[in-house]
Amino acid sequence: MGSVPVQSNPISPEKEAAIRSRLLDILASPEFRASQKCQSFLKYVVEEALAGRQEALKERVIGAEVFGRAPGFETAGDSIVRVKATEVRRRLARYYQMQVGPGIRIELPTGSYVPVFQMEPEVAATATVAVVPEAVERPLLSRRAMWGAGGVGALAVAAVAAWRQRTELTALDRFWGPLLGTAAPVVVCASGGPAISARTTEVLDALRRPVAARVFGNEDFQLSRQAQTSWPTVQAIADVSRMLGVAGKDFQLRVADQMSFEQVKTHPIVVIGMFSNPWTIELTRHLRFSFAPTDEGQYVVKDATKSEPLRRVEGLYPNTPMPLDYALVTRLLDPQQDRRLVAMGGISGLGTRVAADFATSARHWEQFARMAPAGWENKNLQVLLETRIVGDTPNPPTIIAFHVW
Q: What is the mean pLDDT of residues 205-211?
A: 50
Q: Report how far residue 402's alpha carbon sits from residue 405's, in angstroms, rounded to the nearest whole number.
A: 10
Half-sphere exposure (CA, 13 Å, Cβ side) for 83? 9
Nearest to 258 by CA among 187, 316, 326: 187
Q: What is the mean pLDDT of residues 372-379?
A: 93
Residue 335 φ/ψ region, left for φ over 0, alpha for ψ in the -120 to 50 degree band, beta for the rest? alpha
Q: Report how far residue 327's alpha carbon sits from residue 103's, in angstroms, rounded to the nearest whole number.
A: 27
pLDDT tens digit sequence for 145-182: 222 323 323 333 444 444 444 446 789 999 999 998 88
pLDDT band of 317, cuts 50, 70, 90:
low
Res 211: pLDDT: 46
Assess whether pLDDT exceeds 90 at residue 141: no
- Number of CB atoms found within 10 A of residue 6's CB: 23
Task: State pTM to two decimals.
Answer: 0.57
Single-letter amino acid, residue 209: R
Q: What is the mean pLDDT of residues 246-250?
A: 80
β-pairing, 311-314 vs 324-334, is unpaired
Q: What percent of the chain has pLDDT over 70?
A: 71
CA dist list (Å): 140 to 9, 179, 337:
47, 13, 12
β partners of residue 251:
186, 211
Q: Where are the alpha helices (DSSP H) in 28-78?
A: 36-50, 59-67
